[in-house]
């Protein structure tokens, strides 16, 4: 506690300094936890989809809607500090890991910049980035610019466009005319753009289908023949790929398998 002569400004500064110190300590713990999670996940590789966006854009609400999780969804700065991750099964049979991250803000205090970016390491390693925007906010374009600037600062640069899906959230708060204008904008966009309402669930199925397409667009389908006694390879393919067709014949088990390049490389290294 400050002394009796402490002014209100001094009191505020002291409280802010205490808050920053606590946030730095929590962020350090978050960074260590994320590293452990990434190491564990590499042993069971699955595509990672990171939700990013300006604070209060509705990321946690969308996360809850997609995964049926119960992540804290409140109108508060830094409400999501430790990125929460859940598995999500897609219509194509893919299991993806969905990651909810801390909300971005503009003009982040200098003392928090490096620590804040530490919580976004999950984004750098993601296969797909879902940029959740508050379509009902009049400042949505400036917020978009702030988010893209942070992604560039993380070193993603031009690569962002190849892995980005833009989600225009809170369409339930828009007029019919505004929704129509956004739909026209989405149709003309060079990157996938999906209109959703995380609060009502509208558009979430379309988003999941779009995720499926984005993740599998670089997949390769090939035929694999396995000996009948090679149960380990058969189980591995079922765990890591999408088995389109299976034929059990006298000479071997013949499979049509769809997987990404990384898993094909892993499978080839497993074979004698």
| 27 and 143 part of one domain | yes
pLDDT at 45: 59
pLDDT band at 29 (very low <50, low <70, confident <90, very high): low
Q: Is residue 29 part of a domain?
A: yes
Position 49 in a domain: yes
Rounded Cα distance between 121 and 115, Å, is 11
What are the beta bridge partners of residue 97?
A: 48, 87
Residue 54 tokens, joined: 């300006």
Does residue 2 fall inside a structural domain?
A: no
DSSP 110: G
Q: Same structural domain for residues 212 and 245?
A: no
- Are 233 and 253 within one domain? yes
Q: Pick the range with the lowest mean pLDDT from 27-36, 138-147, 225-234, 255-264.
A: 27-36
Helices (H), the chain: 8-42, 59-67, 113-118, 121-124, 140-153, 160-163, 176-188, 204-216, 231-240, 261-270
In angstroms, the CA 154 to CA 167 distance is 21
pLDDT of 148-169, one tens digit each? 888 887 777 666 677 889 999 9
∠ CA(242), CA(244), CA(247), 5° rounding? 125
User: Which of 87, 207, 106 has the alpha carbon at shortest distance from 153?
Assistant: 106
For residues 221 and 262, what is the distance between their CA atoms, to the nearest angstrom?
13
* Strand, helix or coil for residue 48: strand
Q: What is the mean pLDDT of residues 37-58?
A: 73
How many domains does the structure of the chain reveal? 2
Query: What is the tally of helices (H) and strands (E) in the chain?
Result: 10, 9
Average pLDDT, integer, range 264-272: 84
> How are strands ordered across the β-sheet holding 242-248?
220-226, 253-259, 242-248
**Does some domain include residue 1?**
no
pLDDT tens, position by position, 210-265 = 998 888 877 889 999 999 999 999 999 998 888 989 999 999 999 999 887 778 88
Q: Which residue is listed with tokens 């669930």?
A: 201
Tell me whether residue 35 is in a domain.
yes
Q: How many CB atoms lie within 10 A of CB 131?
A: 24
Average pLDDT rounded to a whole number, residues 31-60: 71
Domain ranges, residue 261: 220-270
Per-residue pLDDT at 184 exceeds 90: yes
Q: In sequence order, which residues have a C-beta less than 8 Å from that of residue 63 and are 6 or more positions away?
A: 51, 69, 71, 84, 86, 98, 100
Phi, psi of 58 (to 5 degrees): 105, 20
Based on the fold, state whether residues 16 and 47 are members of the same structural domain: yes
CA 148/CA 195 separation, integer angstroms? 19
Q: Which domain-ending residue is among 183, 200, 216?
A: 216
Residues 183 and 85 in one domain: yes
- What per-residue confidence (pLDDT) applies to 222? 93
Q: Which of 46-60, 91-105, 210-224 has the weakest average pLDDT?
A: 91-105
Is 209's pLDDT higher than 80? yes
* pTM for this entry: 0.68
Average pLDDT over residues 130-144: 94
């Amino acid at each position: 506690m400050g002394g009796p002569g402490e002014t209100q400004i001094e009191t505020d500064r002291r409280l802010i300094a205490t808050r920053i110190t606590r946030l730095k300590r929590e962020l350090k713990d978050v960074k260590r936890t994320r590293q452990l999670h990434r190491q564990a996940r590499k042993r069971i590789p699955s595509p990672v989809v990171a939700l990013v966006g300006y604070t209060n854009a509705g990321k946690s609400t969308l996360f809850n809607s997609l995964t049926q999780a119960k992540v804290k969804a409140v109108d508060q700065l830094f409400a999501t500090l430790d990125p929460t991750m859940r598995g999500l099964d897609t219509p194509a049979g893919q299991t993806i890991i969905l990651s909810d991250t801390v909300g971005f803000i503009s003009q982040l205090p200098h003392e928090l910049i490096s620590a804040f970016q530490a919580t976004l390491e999950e984004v750098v390693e993601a296969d797909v980035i879902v940029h959740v925007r508050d379509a009902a906010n009049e400042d949505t374009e400036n917020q978009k610019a702030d988010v893209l600037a942070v992604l560039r600062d993380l070193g993603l640069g031009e690569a962002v466009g190849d892995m980005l899906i833009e989600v225009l959230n809170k369409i339930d708060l828009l007029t019919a005319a505004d929704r129509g204008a956004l739909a026209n904008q989405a149709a003309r966009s060079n990157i996938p753009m999906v209109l959703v309402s995380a609060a009502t669930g509208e558009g979430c199925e379309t988003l999941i289908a779009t995720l499926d397409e984005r993740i599998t667009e670089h997949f390769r389908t090939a035929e694999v023949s396995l000996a009948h006694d090679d149960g380990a390879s058969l189980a591995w393919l079922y765990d890591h790929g999408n088995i389109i067709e299976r034929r059990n014949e006298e000479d071997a088990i013949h499979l049509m398998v769809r997987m990404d390049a990384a898993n094909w490389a892993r499978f080839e290294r497993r074979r004698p």
